Amino acid sequence: MTVLSTTEIMALIPNRYPILYMDKVIDMVPGESITAVKNVTINEQFFQGHFPGNPVMPGVLIIESLAQAASILILSSPQFKGKTAYMTGIDNAKFRTMVRPGDVLELHVTFGNLRENMGTVNVEARVDGKVATKAELMFVVSPDEK
C-alpha cells in the first residue's frame, strides 16, 4: 500500500532526479516513524562507475536515501510543515550488506531525541528483511519557511 507517491514526496522535500532516492512511502505515523521504498535498478547513474562489472550502491547514497526518508518524517510533523530539514551529523553508521541492482531497499526511520528545531532519528535500510545499513542521523530544521 502506498501512503505517499513520488509526486507527493516531491511536494514535501526539495530533492529531484537524479538525487531523489525513494519511490514511495508505504507506512507513516507522523511524529513517530516512516517506512519508504527505493527500487534499486541497474539504470541508476552511479552504477556506471561503482563498480563496472560489480555494481554496488554506494554507502553514502544509502545514507542519503535514509536522510530523505527522515526528512519526510520530520517535515510531516505539525511543528515543521513547510520548512526544510538538514542533516547535521551521522553516528554509528554500520554497513552490513551490499545493495545491488534488483534489490528493494526498505528505509525505516524512527524519531530519537527532539529538542526545539533539532534532533536525532534512528535509521535502518533493509533488503529482504536483512539489515544493510543502520545509523543515527542528526538534523536541524530551518526556522524559515520555504
**Has residue 94 been placed in a domain?**
yes
**Has residue 92 been placed in a domain?**
yes
Q: What is the CATH number of the domain that holds 40?
A: 3.10.129.10
**Has residue 101 been placed in a domain?**
yes
| Distance, first Cα to last Cα, the chain | 30
Q: What is the pLDDT of residues 81-102, one digit of tens each?
A: 889 999 999 999 999 999 999 9
Question: Residues, the chain, total?
Answer: 146
The whole model's pTM is what? 0.95
Q: Which residues are catalytic?
A: 50
Q: What is the pLDDT of residues 16-43, one digit of tens each?
A: 989 999 999 999 998 899 999 999 999 9
pLDDT higher than 60, residue 146:
no
Q: E strands within 6-59?
A: 24-29, 33-39
- What are the grid coordinates assigned to 143, written together? 526556522
**Has residue 33 been placed in a domain?**
yes
Spatial distance between the Cα atoms of 141 and 119, rounded to a whole number of angstroms: 9
- Percent of the chain exceeding pLDDT 90 equals 87
**Has residue 11 been placed in a domain?**
yes
Cα–Cα distance list, 72 to 110, 129, 140 (Å): 11, 22, 13
**Has residue 1 been placed in a domain?**
no
Domain that holds residue 31: 6-141
